[in-house]
Amino acid sequence: MLQRLINHSPDLKRLRDEGYELERRGGYLCIHQVPYVNSDGRILRGTLIGDITFTGEQASPPASHTVHFMGEVPCHKDGQRMDEIIHSSPNQDLGNDLMGNHYFSSKPPSGRYDDHYERFTRYVALLSAPAKSIDPSVSALTFKPFVDDEDEVFHYFDSSSSRANIARLSEIFENQRIAIIGLGGSGSYILDFVSKTCVAEIHLFDADVLSQHNAFRSPGAPSLELLLQAPSKVDYFQGIYSNMHKRIVAHREFITEQNVQMLAGFDYIFICVDRNSVRSMIAENLANLGVAFIDVGLGINIQDGKLVGTIRTTASDGSKIDHLVKRISSEDVEDNDYATNIQIADLNATNACKAVEKWKKMCGFYLDEVGEFHSTYTISAGLLVNGDFQK
């Protein structure tokens, strides 16, 4: 069943969020793994099958108070048939590998069920009661990962957004093409966060291999055996995050003057490189192309035996570009605040958090009451300073 259909149908969403194992097959909605007792007094699990239609993207109320059941004859714990709900046992082939072994009828006092949640939970309660009297721990709530249709970007359903009731808001990311330039510390954490959104595509650009030092400032924990193989960064991270997101594309190349024009087709770009000349070149070209981007910087130094430094986030929405020349240096100098090579995983993650937060504000996911396009966070003082506001 399409994620969108469930999100737009409160009764189906409630069933799924509470942990029922839902599936749509053809014109039927199925609830799998419903516990019941057979004639031998054994606890088994079966499938409730009910007709379902949609009006637009929302499930219509049930057309009938009846449901089919795939399984053995359901009984009370003494082995007596549940004839109070069994209308017939036609063993009807419903198509789509569904068999209606039994046909249930339990009409509510009003004569009809208001929605699919009311209908299915009523039959689940009736079937499960004998099983629960034998084993109170049995339940139809399996919380099995929900598998999306082929046109969804996730391999399984985003139940986190649904349970928080922000699934519709999350749809704001649906058609976006995202690029992440540089898969070092901050870039890899940005991938971790962005891969958990329903963006259409995530493209990774980096020609480096995954080295031992990368393992200590990136999410996850690569094995020694894997590090000895020296895989490319983009291939490694694509392999990890493709377990969740279907549309992650690896580019084993750096962005240069020769290929920077390929970035023209993206909606948002994260620049996570450690050379000022490269970041400046990319930012200048993106500004000319009118492409929105977020550039990250992390400068850490040792002072009196302790680490001090600043985390920087500089953004452009494609039209606000006048601040870039003073915020993104083009000089590769060793003592530049954002060119030092000391990196700590938690600071890389913080840098990534601020960048992703800004992206989500630019998209309208988060409320943005400030509208800054440049911010710095001073670690020692815990001080966040915003600037370069949209006029």
**232 and 129 share one domain:** no
**284 and 209 share one domain:** yes
User: What does the pLDDT look like over 246-296, one tens digit per residue?
Assistant: 999 999 999 999 999 999 999 999 999 988 999 999 999 999 999 999 999
Residue 178 binned pLDDT confidence (cut-offs 50, 70, 90): very high
Alpha-carbon distance of 104 to 86, in angstroms, equals 5
**245 and 380 share one domain:** yes
pLDDT at 297: 92
**55 and 184 share one domain:** no
Please check whether residue 144 lies inside any domain of the structure: no
**110 and 219 share one domain:** no
Q: Is a pLDDT exceeding 50 seen at residue 300?
A: yes
Q: Which residue, of 76, 111, 134, is where some domain finishes?
A: 134
pLDDT at 364: 96
| Residue whose tokens read 């943005």 | 368
Mean pLDDT over 146-167 rounds to: 68
Please, what is the end-to-end C-alpha distance for the chain in angstroms? 45
Q: Is a pLDDT exceeding 70 seen at residue 3?
A: no
Domain that holds residue 65: 3-134
Please check whether residue 233 lies inside any domain of the structure: yes
* Residues sharing a CB contact under 8 Å with residue 83, sequence separation 6 or more, in sequence order: none
**351 and 216 share one domain:** yes
Grouping H, G, I as helix, E, B as strand and the rest as coil, residue 350 is helix
Instruction: For residue 298, give the CATH number of its domain.
Output: 3.40.50.720
Number of domains in the chain: 2
Residue 337 binned pLDDT confidence (cut-offs 50, 70, 90): very low
* Residues sharing a CB contact under 8 Å with residue 52, sequence separation 6 or more, in sequence order: 24, 27, 28, 29, 59, 60, 62, 116
Alpha-carbon distance of 31 to 47, in angstroms, equals 6
**250 and 371 share one domain:** yes
Alpha-carbon distance of 138 to 365, in angstroms, equals 40
pLDDT at 27: 79
Q: With a threshold of 0.85, does the pTM exceed it? A: no
Q: Is a pLDDT exceeding 50 seen at residue 338?
A: no
pLDDT at 363: 96
**308 and 210 share one domain:** yes
Please check whether residue 363 lies inside any domain of the structure: yes
| More confident site: 379 or 162 | 379
Please check whether residue 190 lies inside any domain of the structure: yes
User: What does the pLDDT look like over 74-87, one tens digit per residue?
Assistant: 999 999 999 999 99
Mean pLDDT over 186-207 rounds to: 97
| More confident site: 134 or 155 | 134
Q: Measuring CA to CA, which residue among 390, 278, 295 is closest to residue 332?
A: 278
**241 and 346 share one domain:** yes
Please check whether residue 112 lies inside any domain of the structure: yes
Residue 162 binned pLDDT confidence (cut-offs 50, 70, 90): low
Please check whether residue 152 lies inside any domain of the structure: no
H/E/C letters for each residue in 229-279? CCCEHHHHHHHHHCCCECCEEEECCCCCCCCHHHHHHCCEEEECCCCHHHH
Residue 336 binned pLDDT confidence (cut-offs 50, 70, 90): very low
Among the listed ranges 223-232, 304-313, 335-344, which one has the minimum average pLDDT value? 335-344
**192 and 64 share one domain:** no
Alpha-carbon distance of 328 to 313, in angstroms, equals 10
Long-range contact pairs involving 375-384 (C-beta distance under 8 Å, separation at least 24): 375/312, 375/313, 376/310, 376/311, 376/312, 376/313, 377/310, 377/311, 377/312, 377/350, 378/309, 378/310, 379/300, 379/307, 379/308, 379/309, 379/310, 379/311, 379/347, 380/308
Percentage of the chain exceeding pLDDT 90: 75
Residue 54 binned pLDDT confidence (cut-offs 50, 70, 90): confident
**236 and 329 share one domain:** yes
pLDDT at 7: 79
How many residues are recorded in the chain?
Answer: 391
Please check whether residue 382 lies inside any domain of the structure: yes
Q: What is the mean pLDDT of the chain?
A: 91
Mean pLDDT over 307-322 rounds to: 95
Alpha-carbon distance of 279 to 273, in angstroms, equals 6
| 173 touches 197 (CB < 8 A) | yes
pLDDT at 147: 63
Q: Which residue, of 112, 134, 156, is where some domain finishes?
A: 134
Q: Which residue, of 134, 160, 187, is where some domain finishes?
A: 134
Mean pLDDT over 220-238 rounds to: 95
**241 and 100 share one domain:** no
